Structure 1
Amino acid sequence: MAIPRRRSRSRPTVAVILLVAVSFLAAACGGGSGGGSGGGGDAKADPTGAPAAHYRVSSSLLDPSGRALGVVDDKTPWQYGIVDTFTKEAGRSPDIREYYGSWGEDFDAEGNAFLWKHGQLPMMAMVPDDTPLADIAAGKDDAYIRRLAGQIASYDGPLALSFAGEMNGPWNSWGPEHTKAADFVAAWKHLHDVFDAQGVTNVIWVWTPHVVDSGTTAKLRPYYPGDDYVDWVGLIGYYGPIDGVAFSSLFTPTLREIARFSDKPVLIAETGVAQSAQKEADIRDLFQGAAKAGVIGLVWYDQRKNWPGSKQLMDWRISTSVGARAAFQVEKARNKFGHSFKNG
């Protein structure tokens, strides 16, 4: 359920300007390296001018032992109301706070640091908007990618990054009928390679297709960049009148298809249960099915929103009824959803 935004190219943030200035002064004085946090080790000066990431994603983050619980909406990291609301409704604060970002926008290092400080792993779903993936793959936006890499590296914490999610959805300009799968893979690899060249070590790369159903029939294997370019597999799917009403039909077929070419940890990166007479039963089915499938977590869309491509208003919120809220709280506890990434 990607939320498109207007494409904008904003100026570098104050944090980035200060980072560049400090790097320049350190180089002019022959400055030494400083100790990094988060297991990153000492950061050595790079003669190419690549930014040094202070935080290095650990193996316990890449392959977490527990099941995380998250929340997603289109608000910025600073808009913390969604976290407070989710905490009250779910009976537990979220472990992941996912939000949307548009290609061309600057990364909010301070906002993401705020989330990480308050116990949420930030997850940014980057939407390419009207930018052709073939142009990204060809290097036409490399100046922006390098700037973005520097901004993310300056944030002293981990970031789960999903680029061009629901790439198998025909409703997206980067999906089937609009963009070749090969262009998606090439753009993903190019973005990843530029980040690597810039010394970015604090990103968890999340490949995020929509579940395969009647509206997304494209095979997923051609869209997969390869295990060297992916850390987590994310899945997007909703219980409702269009996507499905059971984990076995909504997620299981896609999980089986992905298992044929990847064994990376799976996160349900965006999900929700629409208001209906069976919402309580669907919530139980979601948590039980996800736990049985061995996912590393699920991220809930706790909003009212029109179904993409239609005027049908759907209510995904936990609090649509006392029963729905109770079912959510009971099932997330019973199936052990709740994992602090700060503690590994």
Structure 2
Amino acid sequence: MAPPRSRSRSRSRLMVAAILMVAASLLVDACGGAGSGGGTKGGTPTSPAAHYQVSPLLKPSGHALGVVDAKTPWQYGIVETFTEEAGRAPDIREYYSSWGDDFDTEGNAFLWQHGQLPMMALVPTDAPLAGIAKGEDDAYIRKLADQIAAYDGPLALSFAGEMNGPWNSWGPEHTKPADFVASWKHVHDVFSARGVTNVIWVWTPHVVDSGTPAELRPYYPGDDYVDWVGLIGYYGPIDGAAFSSLFSPTLHRIADFSSKPVLIAETGVAESDQKEAHIRDLFQGAAKAGVIGLVWYDQRKDWPGGKQLMDWRISTSRGALAAFQVESARNSFGHSFKNG
């Protein structure tokens, strides 16, 4: 029997050898192993989780049909109602989110799993755009970017929409175009720095008309910062009653400084004895203009800056509903982003 001291030395040598073997094994794994293209776990190659890439969705081959309202992504009733009335499920589900709100990861994932591209209109009601541009809200922007990046799906994102609308606190009566552009670029840059690859950036002005006469070019952040142009306009007492007067003039102006795909990001037809004709005109005009889709505001709402309650729902009459069903199908509106 060896002396106690000798046994102690033997145990020490064994422990050192074991430690060296473990360290060597870890080093081999870290380097990918001999002849391996990456680390292994249980014999299966592993790699860092990849973020969702929206690039295949940026130039869709068809016309999408969407629906918008103020409810959260989890409030799915608007989608079910629209599906029943329109005769098909919407391809886009737009909703509003206030500046400072967390991103609803599960709710947006729920929409995407059910076939709807989530579109979030981020509304900076109480956040001056000049302050955003200076980095005053960077903690929130970084947090939001990280939350969106962790969501395994695409998100169409509109920031400070209708920036040319005087009824908005970030509109031309309160904010300079340069401040809007600077804030947009800053938010975009922070997202890029955080590695966000699943956002479709949608620039959403209101159509130029008597209520929103401001020129749009000064508000445009540039093609490097925009994926889609999203026009907002309604067939009603102010905007107009024909695609040729409501959307076409603004489309022509935008074509002078951007060639990005155009989505009608928010629209509707007010109740009147001409609603059926206006619905037909909308779909026919949108298809002819080559837009990538339109998003319908299927709600009742006061007109901006006024007290008149407007009913934009497609179900206000049998004729309106039939016109919507027939014209959306006839003009091939309905394109799932699940198919690219």
Say whether residues 1:179 and 2:175 are aligned partners. yes
Q: State the one-letter code of the partner of 2:52.
A: Y
Give 1:92's aligned residue.
88
Q: Aligned partners of 1:219, 1:336: CA distance in 2, in Å?
A: 32
Structure 2: gaps of 5 or more residues: 1-28, 33-37, 40-45
Deviations 1:109-134 (A, max 9, x none): 00000000000000000000111000
Q: Distance in 2 between matches of 1:245 and 1:90?
A: 22
Q: Check the 8 A contact 1:160/1:205 in 2, yes or no.
A: yes
Provide the C-alpha distance between the structure 2 equivalents of 1:43 and 1:194, rounded to a whole number of angstroms: 25
What is the CA deviation profile of residues 46-104 of structure 1, one whole-angstrom value per residue up to 9, with x for unaligned ones?
xxxxxx76211133x10000000000000000000000010011111000000000000
CA 1:43/1:157 → structure 2, altered by over 3 Å: closer, same or farther? Answer: farther
Quick check: 1:53–1:201 contact (8 Å CA) kept in 2?
no
| Partner of residue 186, structure 2 | 190
Query: Could you give the per-residue CA deviations for residues 161-194 of structure 1, whole angstroms, max 9, x where no partner exists?
Result: 0000000001111111210000000000000000
Q: For 1:244-287, what per-residue CA distance to the aligned partner results, in whole angstroms no more than 9, with x for missing partners?
A: 00000000000000000000000000000000000000000000
Q: Which residue of 2 aligns with 1:6?
A: none
Aligned equivalents of 1:224, 1:278: Cα separation in 2: 34
- Provide the rounded CA distance (Å) in 2 between the counterparts of 1:217 and 1:136: 25
Which one of the candidate residues 202, 205, 216 is aligned to 2:212?
216
What letter corresponds to residue 304 of structure 1 in structure 2?
Answer: R
1:114-193 matched pairs, under 5 angstroms? 114-193=110-189
Structure 1 residues 248, 151: CA separation in 2 closer, same or farther (over 3 Å shift)? same
**Partner in structure 2 of residue 57 of structure 1:** 54
Give the distance between the partners of 1:182 and 1:221, measured in 2 at CA.
11
Task: Read off the aligned partner of 2:214 and give its amino acid letter.
Answer: A
2:267 to 268, 271, 276: 271
- Between the aligned residues of both structures, percent identity stands at 83
Structure 1 segments (4+ residues) deviating >6 Å: 29-34
Q: Could you state the TM-score of these two structures normalised by the residue count of structure 1? A: 0.85
CA RMSD in angstroms, aligned pairs only: 1.7
AA aligned opposite 1:78: W
* Alignment equivalent of 1:320, drawn from 295, 316, 320: 316
SS at match of 1:311: coil
Q: Deviations over 1:6-61 (max 9, x none)?
A: xxxxxxxxxxxxxxxxxxxxxxx989999xxxxxxx975xxxxxxx76211133x1
Structure 1 31/127 Cα, relative in aligned 2: closer, same or farther at 3 Å? farther
Give the SS at the match of 1:110.
helix
* Structure 1 residue aligned with 2:197: 201
Partner of 2:103: 107
Q: Are 2:78 and 1:82 aligned?
A: yes
Letter in 2 for 1:299: V
Contact 1:158 1:203 in 2 (8 A): yes
Aligned to 2:12: none
Aligned residue pair count: 301
Alignment of 1:241-256 (within 5 A): 241-256=237-252
Distance in 2 (alpha carbons) for counterparts of 1:332 and 1:31: 56
Give the letter aligned to residue 54 of structure 1: H
Matched with 1:342 is: 338
Per-residue deviation, 1:158: 0.1
CA distance in 2 between counterparts of 1:295 and 1:54 reads 28
After TM superposition, give the deviation of residue 309 of structure 1 in Å: 1.1
Unmatched segments (≥5 aa) in structure 1:
1-28, 35-41, 45-51
C-alpha distance in structure 2 between counterparts of 1:102 and 1:192, whole Å: 17
Aligned to 1:258, the other structure's residue is in SS state helix
| DSSP-derived class of the 2:315 partner | helix
